[in-house]
Chain A
Amino acid sequence: MMENNIFELQYAIDTFYFLVCGALVMWMAAGFSMLEAGLVRSKNTAEILTKNVTLFAIACTSYLVIGYDIMYGGGVFLAGIDGGETLVDDALKASAENGFGGDSVYSAASDFFFQVVFVATAMSIVSGAVAERMKLWSFMLFAVVLTAVIYPLEGNWTWGGGSVFGMYNLGDLGFSDFAGSGIVHMAGAAAALAGVLLLGPRKGKYTADGKVNAIPGANLPLATLGTFILWMGWFGFNGGSVLKLGDIANANSVAMVFLNTNAAAAGGVIAALIVARLLFGKADLTMTLNGALAGLVAITAGPDTPSPLVATLIGGVGGVLVVLSIITLDKLKIDDPVGAISVHGVVGLWGLLAVPLTGEATLTGQIIGALTIFVWVFGASMITWGIIKAVMGIRVSEEEEYEGLDIGECGLEAYPEFTGSKGSGL
Chain B
Amino acid sequence: MKMVTAIIKPFKLDDVREALSDIGVQGITVTEVKGFGRQKGHTELYRGAEYVVDFLPKVKIEAAVKTDLVDQVIEAIAKAANSGKIGDGKIFVSSIEQAVRIRTGESGDEAL
Give chain A's interface residues, CB within 8 Å of chain B. Answer: 212-217, 276, 279-282, 284, 286-287, 323, 326-327, 330, 339
Docked pose: A339 CA to B48 CA in angstroms: 12
Is B11 an interface residue, CB under 8 A from the partner?
Answer: no
Contacts of A284 in B (CB 8 A): 45-48
| Chain B residues whose CB sits within 8 angstroms of the CB of A279 once the complex forms | 48
Check A286–B49 contact: CB distance below 8 A.
no
Q: A214-B51, A323-B48 are in contact. List 18 more A-B contacts (CB 8 A).
A: A212-B48, A212-B49, A213-B49, A214-B44, A214-B47, A214-B50, A216-B44, A216-B46, A216-B51, A280-B48, A282-B45, A284-B47, A284-B48, A286-B46, A286-B47, A287-B47, A330-B48, A339-B47
Q: Which residues of A contact B46 (CB under 8 A)?
A: 214-217, 284, 286
Least CB distance, A414 to chain B, in whole angstroms: 20
Q: B residues within 8 A CB of A327?
A: 48
Which residues of chain A are within 8 angstroms of B48 by Cβ–Cβ distance? 212, 276, 279-280, 284, 287, 323, 326-327, 330
| B residues near A287, Cβ cutoff 8 Å | 47-48
Q: Interface size (B, Cβ < 8 Å)?
A: 8
A-chain residues with CB within 8 Å of residue B45 when the two chains form the complex:
214, 280-282, 284
How many angstroms from the CA of A286 to the CA of B45 in the assembled complex? 11
Interface centre among A214, A276, A326, A330 (most CB of B within 10 A): A214
Sample 28 A-B pairs with CB under 8 A, ordered by A number.
Answer: A212-B48, A212-B49, A213-B49, A213-B51, A214-B44, A214-B45, A214-B46, A214-B47, A214-B49, A214-B50, A214-B51, A215-B46, A216-B46, A217-B46, A276-B48, A279-B48, A280-B45, A280-B48, A282-B45, A284-B46, A284-B48, A286-B47, A287-B47, A323-B48, A326-B47, A327-B48, A330-B49, A339-B47
> A339: which B residues are within 8 A, CB to CB?
47
Closest to A326 in B: B47
Query: In the docked arrangement, what's the CA distance between A212 and B50, Å?
Result: 8
